[in-house]
Structure 1
C-alpha cells in the first residue's frame, strides 16, 4: 500500500482517486476550497463534478502541506492554468522524494510549454526526465463507475513510469507504458481542440460524415504538429492519440464537445464558459496550438478555423464553408508520409 496525494478535486482527480483507493492505497484528495473538502469528507460525494459515491477511505484535504505529508507519489490533476501556482507551493513545502505524476491535458499559451515542462521549471528538485504523464481515452464519469478503461503513462525515467503503472493498474483500469512523453502529452492536449470542432459540427446539425472527416483530418493535424516537435508519429495512432480523440469527439461526457456544441448553436464563447461552469481546456489549448502552428510553419486549417471561432468571433458556418472549399490535395500526405520519412531513414 502506498500513500498518494491527488492534487485537484475536479471530476478527473476524483475518478483517479477512486482507482487508487480501489487498489488499497492511502489516498489524500486535495482541493483549494475548504468547503469542498468538508463536503467530501462528510457526505462522500463531489456532486458538482462527479455523481458517484466516493469510497470512505479517500480523505479530502484543504491544507496542501498536510495532504502531501509522507506520500510516496503526488498526482497533479489541476487545470493547466493552475499548474505553475500549485507547483510553486509544492516547491516550498515538499522536502522528501515523491514520484510526480500529472494527468492534466493542455499547453500553456505564450510560452507554449507542455505540462511536464511547466512542472520541472517550478520544482527545483525535479528533472523533466523524472516526471510521469498519464493520458488516454478516459472519461471521469466512466472511470468512477469502474467501467473498462485503458490509458498510457509515459516518462523518460522507466522506473517512475513503472511505479505509476503499478499504482493505477487494476481489472477495470489498464495501464500501458510509453517512452514518448512529447507525443503522449501533445495527443492529450491537442485532441481537445478537435473535440470543440466536433461539438461545433453537431451543433450546426451536421451528421456523422462531417464528424468522421473532422476527426480524421484533425488527427493528421495533431500528428503533423507533434512530429515537428519530436513526437513519434506512431504514438498518435495509439491510446493517447486516436483513442483519446475518438472518445472526446463523440461523447456527451466531453466538456470540450459540449462547449463546441453550444458554439455551433450560436452562443458566444463567454456565454458558453459561464454555462459550463468548469474548465474547458480546448479553448486555452487552441490559442497555444495556433501559436505553435505559426511558429513551426505547420499547416493546421481545422485548428486555425476553431481559433477564429473562439477568438475572432468568426461564424461557425462560414469557417466550415472555408474548410470545405480549400484547394484540392491528396490525402496520403500526412501520417503516412510522416511514418515513411521516419522509418526510411
Structure 2
C-alpha cells in the first residue's frame, strides 16, 4: 500500500496511528491453491459452452406494469441477492431451472432451500409483513426462525436499508399467487395421536420449555411455535434433522438467541422418534415421513458448513 506523506499528515490521529501500525507488519506470503476440481470440471474452456447454453447476459429491465418498489425488489432478489442460486432446482449441468421451477426450491450444503413461489409448503401463506420481518430479523411468529445458510443471509440483510428489505418482501409476496392460485390460510394444527410415545416424552423433556407456543417463558431469545414451523411441514425431514442435531449456534440476529445442539445427548433413534412425533403432532394433515432414520444419519455424518 502506498500513501503520500501529505495524505498521512492530513489524516486524523486515529488514521495516522492505524497507518503507522500497518507499516510495522510483515507482508504475508501465500500461494494460490492448486485447482482440485475433477474432470471435466477442471477444463476451463468448457465454460464457454456452458455460458452459451445458460448464461443470462440480459440487462435488467423494469416491468412498467409494476410499481417502483416491486421492480426494486425484483432487481434485488434476482440480481444482487441471486436468491435463485439456492431456492431454484438445477438441471444435470448445474444450471438453474426456469419457468414454473424458478424459485420452486432447491438444496444447498445439505439444507433444503424451500420454494419462494406458490409451491411453498409453509402451513400459512407468507405475507409481505411476514417476509419483511423474517428477512430483517430472522424470525416470523407465523413461520419460525432462520437457520442454516439462511441465517447468514439474514445477518447481512439486517444491515441494509429497510426500504430495500421491504421491496424484496413486496416482490416475494407477489410470487405466492403466481403458481397455483391465491394462497388460502391453513387452519391451525390440532393434536393428533402418533405412535411414537418415546418422541412425545423427549419433546416434553427437551423441547417444550422453549417451544411452548407462547404459553410459557421466552428462553434463549424467542419461543417459536412448532405448529407453523416450515421444516415440520416440509416434504423432506432433512432440515428438521439438522436443526435438532446441530442446533443454531450462530443466530441470524443477536436478539434471537441460540438453540442448543442435541447430537451429543440424543441417539439417532431418539431423534427419529422425536421427529416422527413432531410431524404427527404439529402437521397432522401431512403424510408421515418414510426416511426419517436415513435423514438423521445423513445429517449427523455431514453437518455441513452452516
What's the TM-score bracket when you normalise by the shorter of the two chains?
under 0.3
Q: Which has the higher strand share?
A: 1
Determine which structure has the larger helix proportion and give its number: 1
The structure with the larger Rg is 2
Q: Tell me which of the two structures has the higher relative contact order, counting C-alpha pairs closer than 8 angstroms and 6 or more residues apart.
A: 2
